[in-house]
Structures are given as C-alpha cells and as structure tokens.
Chain A
Amino acid sequence: MPERVIGLGEVGAHLPSDPWVLVFGVSREGNRRARRATRAALHWNMAVLWFDGFGERWEGGRTGRVDLDFPVPDGSVVVVDYSDDEKRHWLNRMVEKVPASLIGPIERAEGIGEPSEGRVRTLTSIRRSLQRALAALQKMVVRRIAQIFRGIVSWRLVRDDVELLSSSAPPPRMIIYGDDFALTQGWWAARIWTEIPTAMEVN
C-alpha cells in the first residue's frame, strides 16, 4: 500500500490491512488530535486511515507523501483529504453566495441610468448598510447554520468510503474522532462497526 494522500472515492485502491485504526478530524483541533492518534497507533504497529477535513497542506498535495513530523513506516498511513469536497458542498457555498447574490443587484443598479451624485450616494449608502447587515447575518446565522450541519455534511461526504471499508477491509481496532464535528462521523461509524471501541484520543 503506497503511503500517500488520496481523495474521496479512492479508498478502494488503498484498503488497510489488520490491524488498523480509523481516524476522523475536521477542525484544526481535530487535526492535532488525529496526528497524536496516528503517532500512537504507529507506536502500536497499527496502520492508520485518516479522513482529514481540515485541509492539511500535505507535501505535494494529493500525490505527495504524508509529512507528520514523526517517522512513518512505509504504507502505514493513508490520508483521505476531503477538505476541497467540503468547501464545494452547497451549504458552504451558500455562506459565500448569499451576500454576493444580494449585493450584486445593488452594485448593478449603481451603474444604471444617468449617474447623479445624490443617487450614487444613496445607493452606496444602501449598499454599505446592506453589506454590514449581511456580514452580521452571515456571522450570526449562515455560518452558524453551516457549523451546526458541518458534522453531518462531513459524514455524508465520507459515508460511501467508510461503507466501502466496512464491506471490503477488516474491521478497525479503534475509531478515533478528533473534534466535535468528527464526533458525528465517529457516531455513524460506531453504528457500522458496533463492537469497535471509540475514543477522542488514543491512550
């Protein structure tokens, strides 16, 4: 098994062999915990399959090697980097698109008809007010909604790969979830492998 960073849908070509540990990390904290879990698993001679939603800048991107700041035996760690897939999810696009879709018409209106100082001043004022309101809306509502659903979104993204693992690979020795978002992934994975211990850290 080559040691590398792969994308969603590529797990089938990199199935882990027993013993291995399934690791989920979504946020920066989850990434840190996933690193610690990986180090601990390697210490116990276990392979690691790590679903990384944080978007670690892996050396060389998806074709590069896993750089973990500690020795990694060949073929023992495979990282599934799905951070770009998450960014492309409609819920996350909405976070960016909602403000743009509302500001756009006003910006266009500023350029319609004869430019008059009063009209431009009024439209600019409206646009700025709307921008402030949208920024607040984005911060208070849209981003929060995205955060609330981030766990489920993350799980939906990796679900097919995890289900493929459950049918094609030996069961993992442990399911590690590195943060609250990854808890949802771990929660669902724990329902697939009903006997496998789950933990936030490897002791």
Chain B
Amino acid sequence: MSKPHLLYIAFFFPPSRASGVYRALATVKAFDNAGWDVTVITADERFFEDEIGSVDRSLVDLIPESVEVERVPFSFRSEAEVRDLRDVGWFKGNFPLLSSGVRRRLGSFTVALDVMRGRSALSFPMDDRYLSWIDPVVAKAKAIRRRKAFDHVLATGNPYSAFEAARLIAGIHGRPFTVDYRDPWAFDMRIGSLAKLSAPTFAAEARIIDQAYACIQVNDAIASAYANLYPEKAHKQHIVMNGYDEASIPDVVGPHNGPLTFGMLGTVTDLWPLGALFEAWHSRRKSLPPGSLLRLGGHLGYFPWSADPLLATFPDQSAGFEYVGPVPKTDVAGFYAGLDVVLVPLFGGPMVTAGKVLEVAALGTPIVCIQGRDGGARHFFEKHPLAIGVDPDPDAVGAALLEAATLARTTTVEERVSVRQSMAEYERQTAMNELVSIVAQAPELQANTVA
C-alpha cells in the first residue's frame, strides 16, 4: 500500500520567519510522522530575503528531510522591477521598445488573456494582495501531479489566496481539500465582528468553505463565529489549537531571592499594549528587588522598516530595560530559562490566542497576561494557576507585576512541574496530530487507501 501524499500550500514557510511558520512546520512534521509523503508549495526565498527581509535561516533546518519543498516565485513589485534579465526573451532583450509597443497595441486583448490565464487580479475577484500567486501555484500543482498523484490538498492562510489555489487544484484534480485558518478571514480579530471585505471576497470564502472537506480554526471563538456565519457548514469547522514546542521549554528551576527578570518574547508589533507595560514598569520598579530587569526578545515587526518606530518607544537601559534582539528558535528555551516572570502583552478580543500563549503556559513560570478583559488569551489563562490576567492599564499592570514577583519567589518546583504536566496536551505535535486525524478521515482518502 503506497503512502498517502499531502500537497501542502503554505505561502509562509522557512526561511520566512512569519508568525505562521511554526504552525506550518508542525503541520508537515505531523503528517511526516504519520507516514504521509508531504510536498510543500511555498513562496520563493528571494521574496522573503530581498523583498520583505523577514527570514530566519535556522528554521530551514527544522524542515523534515523527507518533505519536498517547491518554491513558487511571488513579488509585490511590478514585473519590470523584479525581472531577472535572464528570464527576458531574445525579442524583448534586443528590441525592448518594439516589444513594449506590440504589447501596448494588443492592449485589451492582453488584459483579457491575463484574466483568463489567472494572471490578473480580475481573475480572482477577492481582496488579497497575493492573488498573482494563485495561478503559478495551480500550475506547480499540475507539475507535481504529473510526477506523483496527491491525495489531499491542505492550505494554510493567510494569505487566503492559498485557499483559493487549493480550491482550484482540488477541483482540477478531483481531490478533497482542507483549509487551515491561522487567523479568521471574514472577521476582524481585534473587534471580533465581520471584517470590512468586499462582497466578492465573502462570496469567495463562502465558495471555499462550501467546497472544502474541512475548515480548521485555532480556537473556539473563531470556530464558533464561523459556525454561526455559515450554519449549514458548521459541521466542517474543527479546532486545532496552536501548541508549544517541547524544545522551547527549559528545565524547571526553583525560586530565588535575587533580582527578578520579567520578560517577553515574540515578534513585537505596535498592536502590543507596551505603553501600559512600560508605564507600569517605571512606576513599580522601585518596589521590586534592586537590579530587577524588564527584558524583551524578538524581531521588531515583520518587516525591516517596522523596527525604528518601535525602538523609539522603548525605555533606555537606565530604566532596567533591555532589548536582546531576535532570539533564534534554538535559543528560545535559554531565553525563557533566564526569566522569573513571563509577560504576554496582546491586543484584541476573544479570537486572539497567539501561539506564544501555549508556550508560555507550559513553562511553569508566573505569567502576566496584558490583554482586554474579553481577550482570548485572558480567557485561556483563567484556569492557569500561575497566570494573572490584567487589562492594559498601567495601574493594573503595575499591581500584577508585584503580584507576579511574589509568585516567582514562592512557587515551588513541585508546583511548577505540576503546571507543566497539566499543559502536556498542548504540545505542538500532539495538537497537530488532531489535524492529521481530521484529514485522514476524508472519504476519498480512505477509499484510495483501502483500494
């Protein structure tokens, strides 16, 4: 019996360091471990490195060796800007003006041809900046299919163009497809209500959900919202939470009496409620043991140009603050080992449960979660014995810092170990096995496997 073959469409995949990459990596590992052949279609490295400058080379080493990775070029730039002259044909290379003139005179015919060939935004009437990626991905899938048939198409979004590509590929090749929502498409996570999308975009999502075998959501709030939005397709909504990586969790250590280190790790964005945290730190620092530190690790935004505005908001070193820069995946455990209290500043409402939340929850270290009262992470931490949830208000955060400091000094090793054990179900691969189970239940796959 041959191994089932998964075609996985993940725009962001190593060396990209986008936040969704860890879930994508865990997904391919889970399918690989479950005995699937996995082929990933992702964007080209040039886009990640040169165009958006958002890469972490160490992540490439985490791709299982047996997983095939096919890269489909993408660019936000116009064709003329990005074109490698080696890709330019002889005619255009030697007679560029004549070539442009001919193309211009063909005008509307060319536009129509592009629409038909899927190379125009008009080909896919939906709001997404990655539409031009769809057609090359469909073509790549055809090429892969010629080499080896695939049994299931799984796409992760955003970008949601990956979903549309999966729908088209599944339709062309008669295979089922599943969409893995890392974020909700139809909803604005910050406010939890419908996002401002065009009617064709809602129609595109409805079409995708209608034709998909299953829709995977990262938390109950998003799954419920989708079930309510598409009640006839509520049975397709499944929850596969993000998980933590065992390698990111350091050994448990007991409390100590020295200065305390409060810290946070993640890709910092201007949506984080850092203002309230910094104000609280300034006002309550003198109540903490002398030499206590506030430490921040991680990339500043997802793009190089995001860094400077964020840096300008940080306190200076004299305020007991240190920014240690990006922390490679392999050093995450070491970073957490140096913290006595972990801070989780988050924006948004019930739909926002960042992947980091589960990682932090599994540490067995006191936590201060700074998020609105109805925040998804706040809700998750309610049952966590070492977590303190507070609104992004400087006074509330200040009080929580002191409370967490007390917890850091009084929580025993046994209590920390107990917390860690209670979080074992959220280990990422354990969580992702659920995704494999859902896909493996597809009737077509079962029929093929039996045959």
> Chain A residues in contact with chain B, CB under 8 A?
147-148, 150-152, 175, 177, 180-181, 183-184, 186-188, 190-191, 194, 197-201, 203
Contacts and interface: CB of A to CB of B under 8 A. Distances in A.
Contact of A175 (B80, B85, B97): B85
Interface centre among B85, B93, B95 (most CB of A within 10 A): B85
A117 B301 CA distance: 85
A151 B94 contact: yes
A72 B93 CA distance: 32
B61 interface: no
Interface in B54-105: 80-81, 84-86, 88, 92-98, 100
B85 A201 contact: no
Given A148-B98, A180-B100, A194-B86, A187 B80 contact: no
Contact of A191 (B80, B86, B97): B86
**A interface SS class:** helix
Interface centre among A175, A181, A188, A198 (most CB of B within 10 A): A198
**B interface SS class:** helix
B95 A148 contact: yes
A77 to B, nearest CB: 23
B81 A151 contact: no
A190 B85 contact: yes
Contacts of B97: 147-148, 150-151, 180-181
A198 B85 contact: yes
Contacts of A187: 85, 88, 93-94
Contact of A184 (B84, B86, B94): B94
Contacts of B50: 203
Nearest to A155: B94
User: Lowest 7 A-B CB distances belong to which pairs?
Assistant: A187-B93, A190-B85, A198-B85, A180-B96, A183-B96, A187-B85, A186-B85
Contacts of B100: 180
A151 B86 contact: no
A139 to B, nearest CB: 15
Contacts of A191: 86
A186 B93 CA distance: 9
A181 B96 contact: yes
A44 to B, nearest CB: 14
Nearest to B89: A187
Given A151-B96, A190-B86, 18 more contacts: A150-B97, A151-B94, A151-B97, A152-B95, A183-B85, A183-B93, A184-B96, A186-B85, A187-B85, A187-B88, A187-B93, A187-B94, A191-B86, A194-B86, A198-B85, A198-B86, A199-B81, A200-B80
Contacts of A200: 80-81
Nearest to A198: B85
Contacts of A190: 84-86
Contacts of A175: 85
A186 B98 CA distance: 17
Nearest to A186: B85
Contacts of B92: 183
A197 B83 CA distance: 10
Nearest to B82: A199
A151 B99 CA distance: 12
A198 B84 contact: yes
Interface in B90-138: 92-98, 100
A152 B94 CA distance: 6
A39 B214 CA distance: 54
Interface string B41-62: 0000000001000000000000
